[in-house]
Structure 1
Amino acid sequence: MVKAYLRYEFSAAFGVITSAANPTYDATGKLLFTSSLESISVWNAKQGSLVRQLSPVVASSSCGGSPSSPVAEVTVLCIAPAGTTIAAGYSDGTVRLWDYESGECTVTFKGHKSGVSCLRYQGTAAGAGGGSAGGALLASGGRDTDVIVWDVAGETGLYRLRGHKDQVTDVVFLPGQSKLVSASKDGSVRVWDLDTQHCCQTLGGHRAEVWALDVNPAGTRLATGASDNEIRVFAIRDPESESAAAAAAAPSSSSAPSALRDHTVLVPMGSVRRGAASHERVALLRFSGEGQWLGVQGAGRGLELFRVRDEDEARKKLKRRKKRRKEKATKKAEQRKEKAGGQQQQQQGQGGSDDDDEEGAAGGEEEEEEDTLKASDELEAVQLVAAKGAKLRAFCFAPPAARLPPGVACRLALARSDNAIEIVDVSSDSHAYSPFSRLDLPGHRSDIRALALSPDDSALLSASSAGLKLWNPRTGSCLSTMEGGYGLSVLFAPGNKFAVVGTKEGTLEVFDLGAASRVHVEEAAHGGAVWALAPLPDKSGFISGGADKTIKFWQWSVVAPSSGGSRQLRLAHVRSVAMADDVLALRVSPDGRLLAVALLDATVKVYYADSMKFFLSLYGHKLPVLCMDISSDSSLLLTGSSDKNIKIWGLDFGDCHRSLFAHGDAVMSVAWVPGTHYAFSAGKDRLLKYWDLDRCELLLELGGHHGEVWALAVSQFGDFVVTGSHDRSIRRWERTSEPFFVEEERERRLESLFEADLEATAADKDTAAAGGAGGAAAGADATAAAPAGRRTLEAVSAADAIIEALEVAALEMERLRGADKERAEAEAEGRPPPRPLPMNAVMQGLAPSAYVLKVVSGVRASELEQAVMMLPFADALRLLGYLPKWLEAGGTAVELTVRLAVLVVRLHQGQLAATAAARPVLMRLQRRLRAAAQGLKDVVGFNMAGLGHLGRRLKEREGVTEGDAVLPAKRQLMA
Structure 2
Amino acid sequence: MGLTRQYLRFVPGPVFGIVGSISAKIIFVNYKGTKGRFAATASCENVTIWDTKTGDKLLTLQGEKHEVTCLSRHHNGQQIAVGYADGAIRLFDLSSGRCVVTFNGHKSAVTSLSFDSDGMRLVSGGKDTEIVLWDIINEAGMFRLRGHKGIVTKCHFMKNRNILVSSSKDTMVKFWNLDSQHCFKTLVGHRSEVWDFALIREDTQMITGSSDSELRVWNINWLSGSEINDQSVPVMKKSKTGNDDDEELNNNEDSPFTCEKLGTIIRKGKSRVISLQVDEKEAVLACHGTDNIIEIFKLCSEEEAKKRLMKRQRKERKKLQKLQETGNEAHLEEVTSSRSLTDEIQRLPVLKVGSKARGIDIYMTKVNISKVAVLLNNNSIEVYTSDITNKGVSGLCVGAVKLPGHRTDARTLTFSSDNTSILSASGETVKIWNRSSQQCIRTMDCDYALCSIFAPGDRHCIVGTKTGKLQIFDIGAGKLLESVDAHSGAVWSISMSPDQHGVVSGSEDKDVKFWDFELIKDEKYSQTSKRLTLVHTRTLKMSEDVLCVCYSIMCLQFIPKTHMFFTGSKDKTVKQWDADNFQKIVTLQGHQAEVWALAISPNGQHVITAAHDRSLRLWEKTQEPLILEEEEEMEREAEFEKGLASGEQPIIPGEVNQETGLAGKKTVETVKAAETLMEALDVYKEEVTKQDEYQRECLVTGKELPFPPPHPLMTPYSTRCPKRYMLEVIRRIKSSELEETLLVLPFHYVSALVKVLKIFLDLGWDVELSCRVLFFLLRIHCSQITANHSLLPVIDQLRRLTLERVNKERDTVGFNLAGLQFLHREFNSREEVTLFADATQRLRERKKRLKKKERALLVVN
Same fold (TM over 0.5): yes
Q: Distance in 2 between matches of 1:244 and 1:10?
A: 53
Q: Is 1:81 equivalent to 2:75 in the alignment?
A: yes
Higher mean C-alpha displacement, 743-752 vs 944-953 = 944-953
User: Which residue identity lines up with residue 823 of structure 2 in the other structure?
Assistant: H
Alignment match, 2:684: 809
Displacement of 1:287 in angstroms is 1.1
Instruction: Summarize the Cα distance change of 1:502–1:747 in structure 2 as closer, same or farther, 3 Å threshold.
Output: same
Alignment match, 2:473: 511
Alignment match, 2:240: none
User: Which residue identity lines up with residue 274 of structure 1 in the other structure?
Assistant: I
Alignment match, 2:243: none
Which of 549, 554, 559 is the matching residue for 2:515?
554
Alignment match, 1:375: 341
Q: Is 1:420 equivalent to 2:386 in the alignment?
A: no
User: Which residue identity lines up with residue 712 of structure 2 in the other structure?
Assistant: A
Aligned-pair identity in percent equals: 34
Instruction: Summarize the Cα distance change of 1:411–1:839 in structure 2 as closer, same or farther, 3 Å threshold.
Output: closer
Contact 1:234 1:266 in 2 (8 A): no
Contact 2:36 2:371 in 1 (8 A): no
Q: Secondary structure at the match of 1:520?
A: strand
User: Which residue identity lines up with residue 757 of structure 1 in the other structure?
Assistant: G
Q: Distance in 1 between matches of 2:300 and 2:831?
A: 45
Displacement of 1:568 in angstroms is 2.5
Q: Secondary structure at the match of 2:548?
A: strand
Instruction: Summarize the Cα distance change of 1:956–1:338 in structure 2 as closer, same or farther, 3 Å threshold.
Output: closer
Task: Provide Cα deviations, 1:67-113, integer angstroms capped at 9, x if missing partner.
Answer: xxxx1111111110015111011111111111122111111111011
User: Which residue identity lines up with residue 16 of structure 2 in the other structure?
Assistant: F
Correspondence 1:752-771 to 2 at 5 A = 752-760=638-646, 762-763=647-648
Instruction: Summarize the Cα distance change of 1:299–1:806 in structure 2 as closer, same or farther, 3 Å threshold.
Output: same
Q: Is 1:398 equivalent to 2:284 in the alignment?
A: no
Instruction: Summarize the Cα distance change of 1:241–1:15 in structure 2 as closer, same or farther, 3 Å threshold.
Output: farther
Q: Secondary structure at the match of 2:435?
A: coil
Alignment match, 1:741: 627
Displacement of 1:12 in angstroms is 1.2
Q: Is 1:167 equivalent to 2:38 in the alignment?
A: no
Q: Distance in 2 between matches of 1:495 and 1:260?
A: 77
Q: Distance in 2 between matches of 1:244 and 1:221?
A: 15
Alignment match, 2:770: 897
Instruction: Summarize the Cα distance change of 1:312–1:424 in structure 2 as closer, same or farther, 3 Å threshold.
Output: same
Which of 41, 66, 76 is the matching residue for 1:72?
66
Instruction: Summarize the Cα distance change of 1:50–1:144 in structure 2 as closer, same or farther, 3 Å threshold.
Output: same
Q: Is 1:21 equivalent to 2:28 in the alignment?
A: no
Instruction: Summarize the Cα distance change of 1:72–1:260 in structure 2 as closer, same or farther, 3 Å threshold.
Output: closer
Q: Secondary structure at the match of 1:810?
A: helix
Q: Distance in 2 between matches of 1:395 and 1:117?
A: 16
Alignment match, 1:3: 5
Instruction: Summarize the Cα distance change of 1:913–1:705 in structure 2 as closer, same or farther, 3 Å threshold.
Output: same
Q: Is 1:384 equivalent to 2:350 in the alignment?
A: yes
Task: Provide Cα deviations, 1:737-792, integer angstroms capped at 9, x if missing partner.
Answer: 222211111111122112222223x13x66xx79x999xx8xxx76x211101111
Alignment match, 1:570: 533
Which of 443, 447, 471 is the matching residue for 2:405?
443
Contact 1:504 1:528 in 2 (8 A): yes
Q: Is 1:580 equivalent to 2:543 in the alignment?
A: yes
Q: Secondary structure at the match of 2:681?
A: helix
Q: Distance in 2 between matches of 1:416 and 1:174?
A: 30
Q: Is 1:530 equivalent to 2:517 in the alignment?
A: no
Alignment match, 1:50: 57
Q: Is 1:35 equivalent to 2:35 in the alignment?
A: no
Which of 713, 717, 721 is the matching residue for 1:842?
713
Alignment match, 2:302: 311
Q: Distance in 2 between matches of 1:216 and 1:6?
A: 58
User: Which residue identity lines up with residue 378 of structure 1 in the other structure?
Assistant: E
Contact 1:26 1:399 in 2 (8 A): no
Task: Provide Cα deviations, 1:511-546, integer angstroms capped at 9, x if missing partner.
Answer: 111111112111x21101011111112121111111
Alignment match, 2:288: 297
Task: Provide Cα deviations, 1:38-73, integer angstroms capped at 9, x if missing partner.
Answer: 1100111221100011112x4xxxxxxxxxxxx111
Q: Distance in 1 between matches of 2:342 and 2:792?
A: 64
Q: Distance in 2 between matches of 1:851 and 1:773?
A: 33
Q: Distance in 2 between matches of 1:457 and 1:240?
A: 73
Alignment match, 1:789: 664
Task: Provide Cα deviations, 1:658-713, integer angstroms capped at 9, x if missing partner.
Answer: xxxxxxxxxxxx31111222221112221111122223221111111111112111
Alignment match, 1:274: 266
TM-score norm. by structure 2 comes to: 0.86
Correspondence 1:220-369 to 2 at 5 A = 220-239=204-223, 242=226, 263-265=255-257, 267-275=259-267, 277-318=268-309
Contact 2:434 2:441 in 1 (8 A): yes
User: Which residue identity lines up with residue 771 of structure 2 in the other structure?
Assistant: V
What CA RMSD, in Å, does the superposition of the two structures yield over aligned residues? 3.4
Instruction: Summarize the Cα distance change of 1:957–1:396 in structure 2 as closer, same or farther, 3 Å threshold.
Output: closer
Q: Secondary structure at the match of 1:799?
A: helix
Task: Provide Cα deviations, 1:460-513, integer angstroms capped at 9, x if missing partner.
Answer: 000110120111122211111111100001000111111010000011111111
Q: Distance in 2 between matches of 1:686 and 1:105?
A: 26
Q: Secondary structure at the match of 1:690?
A: strand
Alignment match, 2:616: 730
Contact 2:25 2:71 in 1 (8 A): yes
Higher mean C-alpha displacement, 863-872 vs 260-269 = 260-269
Q: Secondary structure at the match of 1:48?
A: coil
Instruction: Summarize the Cα distance change of 1:481–1:917 in structure 2 as closer, same or farther, 3 Å threshold.
Output: same
Q: Distance in 1 between matches of 2:398 and 2:732?
A: 50
Contact 2:27 2:73 in 1 (8 A): yes
Correspondence 1:479-490 to 2 at 5 A = 479-490=441-452
User: Which residue identity lines up with residue 88 of structure 1 in the other structure?
Assistant: V
User: Which residue identity lines up with residue 722 of structure 1 in the other structure?
Assistant: I
Q: Distance in 1 between matches of 2:752 and 2:316?
A: 76
Q: Distance in 1 between matches of 2:312 and 2:654?
A: 51
Q: Distance in 2 between matches of 1:933 and 1:538?
A: 83
Instruction: Summarize the Cα distance change of 1:811–1:480 in structure 2 as closer, same or farther, 3 Å threshold.
Output: same
Instruction: Summarize the Cα distance change of 1:266–1:169 in structure 2 as closer, same or farther, 3 Å threshold.
Output: farther
Contact 1:29 1:45 in 2 (8 A): no
TM-score norm. by structure 1 comes to: 0.77
Q: Distance in 2 between matches of 1:792 and 1:908?
A: 21
Q: Is 1:491 equivalent to 2:446 in the alignment?
A: no
Instruction: Summarize the Cα distance change of 1:454–1:381 in structure 2 as closer, same or farther, 3 Å threshold.
Output: same
Which of 84, 88, 94 is the matching residue for 1:100?
94
Displacement of 1:244 in angstroms is 8.5
Q: Secondary structure at the match of 2:645?
A: helix
Contact 1:201 1:265 in 2 (8 A): no
Instruction: Summarize the Cα distance change of 1:215–1:950 in structure 2 as closer, same or farther, 3 Å threshold.
Output: closer
Contact 1:232 1:375 in 2 (8 A): no
Q: Secondary structure at the match of 2:83?
A: strand
Q: Secondary structure at the match of 1:532?
A: strand
Displacement of 1:243 in angstroms is 6.5
Alignment match, 2:237: none
Task: Provide Cα deviations, 1:410-436, integer angstroms capped at 9, x if missing partner.
Answer: 111111111011111223422412211
Contact 2:364 2:370 in 1 (8 A): no
Q: Distance in 1 between matches of 2:177 and 2:46?
A: 34
Where does the alignment leave 5 or more consecutive residues of structure 1 unmatched?
59-70, 124-133, 247-258, 340-362, 590-629, 631-636, 640-669, 965-975
Instruction: Summarize the Cα distance change of 1:558–1:790 in structure 2 as closer, same or farther, 3 Å threshold.
Output: same
